[in-house]
């Protein structure tokens, strides 16, 4: 491995306040309760800021503000709403570098990814849905589709600002107002987004940001004046939400966990497949719901592919997320690290063979080396449960039918990958995989025009594209 001099991105560009309140009705307000939480840099365990914990009464204030703003926002001509959202997209582009650094600091992801993947997609998402705001009558949902009202949105910590964009952009374009709760470990970019709403002169109450943990989210989801619930996160919490809205008229979309199969056939371009496998499971430390966490490789090329994969993994650089050469950043939290460790230990205990490249681990912060398990059986926990970390489980197959059988043998159905040079086989596989997104000869690609969402226990509803509008319209 080549030696590289450190190339850290400067953090001077971000201005983190020591303490944040809640963003309600266009103003920063203090929470009614005493609750305060700290958000830390997972790469150093340094406290970045103190953040309010919104209680039930705070959530109620935010929902009331959103309800009041709904009258204004839903009645505004779509062309005017569009211009506000375009403005937001532009401000995000203008502040992209600052937001990328902030995201990397709060989340632990490599700056290269925050800068080159997250932020461009965030801006693109707002830009895309801005254009829909005055074209809804052409979207295929009738001549005059109506917004739902107040959307309660709860997002995860793996792509904090991108998930915010996926939720807020279509909601606003369709004429809804929003109360959004970011994850408790990554609230800072959502709070920066609140400032962006002010810079854009967005009418007060159209976007409200309430910080806090699970209880805050639960209060938001069950609030009787919320018309729409959008959640991205674990299947376990998704189940609780689905149960809690039973009997209401709330519209719900859930984007939940996954255990995607990344399937490599013997005729695949193996070097490209190796890059795809690495991108599939080690992108964002594997904190990706659609990660290609199960590698299914055709038996005839398994040895060759695994040798190449291990060689490639030995060149990955783990460390300071702000260093522009870093490939693998920090695990987002101590709790997540504990979960990854627990499942990896279970993998060993159940008889799979564990391998990691030699990889220095920093003293402070939360880290986990890229890890590959071979000899994995379908019954092993590491083949069934979502690890949400840089851990790949390798299984083999002989025939396409066996690959389909193994790939679909999961309660999840979010994504899948297929690597083959044979077009008919690719399409045959794509048609049989029970998953909402199939990447063939590529992996982990996202675009605002492309619908994303799962089958089965990976949730329901689609985000992105024309399909993504349906979640925010009364249709």
Partner 1 sequence: MSERLAVRKTYKLFIGGAFPRSESGRSYVVSSSKGEFLANASKASRKDAREAVAAARKAFPGWSAATAYNRGQILYRVAEMLEGRRGQFVSELVDADGVGVRKAGELVDAAVDRLVWYAGWSDKIGAIRGSANPVAGPYFNLSSTEPTGVVAVVAPQEAPLLGLVSVIAPVIVTGNTCVVVASERAPLPSITLAEVLATSDLPGGVVNILTGSAAEVAPWLAGHMDVNAVDLTGADAELAVTCEEAAAENLKRVLRPPSVKADWLADPGTERMTAFLETKTVWHPIGT
Interacting residues toward partner 1 by CB under 8 A? 124, 140, 235, 238-240, 242-243, 245-247, 249, 254, 256, 411, 426, 430, 435-442, 445, 447, 449-453, 455-460, 462, 465-467, 475
Give the span between the Cα atoms of 188 and 392, in whole angstroms. 30
Instruction: Give, rounded to a whole angstrom, the gap between the first and last alpha carbons of the chain.
Output: 56
**CB of residue 439 vs partner 1: minimum separation in angstroms?**
5
**CB of residue 290 vs partner 1: minimum separation in angstroms?**
11
What distance separates the 2 farthest-apart alpha carbons in the chain? 63
Question: For 339-353, b where at least 16 C-beta lie within 10 A, e where not — what string?
Answer: bbeebbeebeebebe
**CB of residue 134 vs partner 1: minimum separation in angstroms?**
19
CB nearer to partner 1: pick between 315 and 399: 399
CB nearer to partner 1: pick between 236 and 299: 236
**CB of residue 121 vs partner 1: minimum separation in angstroms?**
9
Q: Which of 9, 103, 184, 255 is catalytic?
A: 255
Q: Residue 338, Cβ neighbours under 10 Å: how many?
A: 12
**CB of residue 443 vs partner 1: minimum separation in angstroms?**
9
CA 196, 70, 467 angle in degrees (round to 5)?
Answer: 80
CB nearer to partner 1: pick between 117 and 330: 117
CB nearer to partner 1: pick between 228 and 462: 462
**CB of residue 372 vs partner 1: minimum separation in angstroms?**
25
CB nearer to partner 1: pick between 224 and 247: 247
- Residues with Cβ within 8 Å of 258's Cβ and at least 6 positions away in sequence, in order, are 289, 290, 291, 293, 386, 412, 413, 414, 415, 454, 458
CB nearer to partner 1: pick between 101 and 437: 437
Q: How many CA atoms lie within 13 A of 457 on its CB side?
A: 18
Determine whether 402 is an active site residue: no
Catalogue the active-site residues: 255
């Amino acid at each position: 491995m080549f030696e590289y001099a450190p190339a850290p991105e400067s953090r001077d560009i971000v201005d983190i306040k020591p303490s944040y309140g809640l963003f309600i009705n266009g103003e920063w307000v203090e929470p009614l309760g005493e609750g305060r939480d700290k958000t830390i840099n997972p790469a150093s365990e340094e406290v970045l800021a103190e953040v309010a914990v919104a209680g039930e009464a705070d959530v109620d204030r935010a929902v009331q503000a959103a309800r009041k703003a709904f009258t204004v926002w839903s009645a505004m001509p779509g062309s005017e709403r569009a211009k506000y959202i375009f403005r937001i997209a532009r401000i995000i582009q203008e502040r992209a570098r600052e937001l990328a650094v902030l995201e990397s600091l709060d989340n632990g992801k490599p700056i290269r990814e925050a800068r080159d993947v997250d932020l461009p997609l965030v801006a693109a998402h707002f830009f895309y849905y801005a254009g829909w705001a005055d074209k809804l009558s052409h979207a295929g949902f009738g001549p005059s589709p109506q917004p739902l009202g107040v959307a309660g949105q709860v997002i995860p910590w793996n792509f904090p600002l991108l998930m915010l964009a996926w939720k807020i952009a279509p909601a606003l374009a369709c004429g809804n107002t929003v109360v959004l709760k970011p994850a408790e470990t990554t609230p800072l970019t959502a709070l920066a987004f609140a400032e962006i709403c002010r810079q854009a002169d967005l009418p007060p109450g159209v976007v409200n940001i309430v910080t806090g943990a699970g209880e805050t989210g639960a209060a938001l989801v069950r609030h009787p004046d919320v018309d729409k619930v959008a959640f991205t996160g674990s299947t376990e919490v998704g189940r609780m939400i689905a149960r809690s809205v039973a009997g209401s008229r709330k519209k719900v979309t859930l984007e939940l966990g996954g255990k995607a199969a990344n399937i490599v056939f013997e005729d695949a371009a193996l070097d490209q497949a190796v890059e795809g496998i690495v991108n599939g499971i080690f992108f964002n430390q594997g904190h990706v719901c659609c990660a290609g966490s199960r590698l299914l490789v055709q038996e005839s090329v398994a040895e060759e592919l695994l040798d190449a994969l291990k060689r490639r993994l030995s060149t990955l650089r783990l460390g300071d997320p702000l260093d522009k050469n870093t490939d693998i950043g920090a695990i987002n939290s101590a709790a997540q690290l504990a979960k990854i460790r627990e499942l990896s230990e279970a993998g060993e205990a159940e008889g799979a063979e564990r391998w990691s490249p030699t990889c220095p681990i920093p003293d402070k912060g939360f880290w986990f080396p890229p890890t590959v398990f071979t000899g994995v059986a379908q019954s092993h926990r590491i083949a069934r449960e979502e690890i949400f970390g840089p851990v790949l489980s390798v299984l083999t197959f002989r025939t396409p039918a066996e690959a389909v059988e193994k790939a679909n043998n999961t309660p999840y159905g979010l994504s899948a990958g297929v690597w083959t040079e044979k077009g008919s086989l690719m399409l045959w596989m794509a048609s049989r995989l029970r998953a909402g997104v199939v990447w063939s000869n590529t992996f982990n690609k996202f675009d605002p025009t492309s619908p994303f969402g799962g089958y089965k226990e990976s949730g329901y509803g689609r985000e992105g594209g024309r399909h993504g509008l349906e979640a925010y319209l009364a249709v």
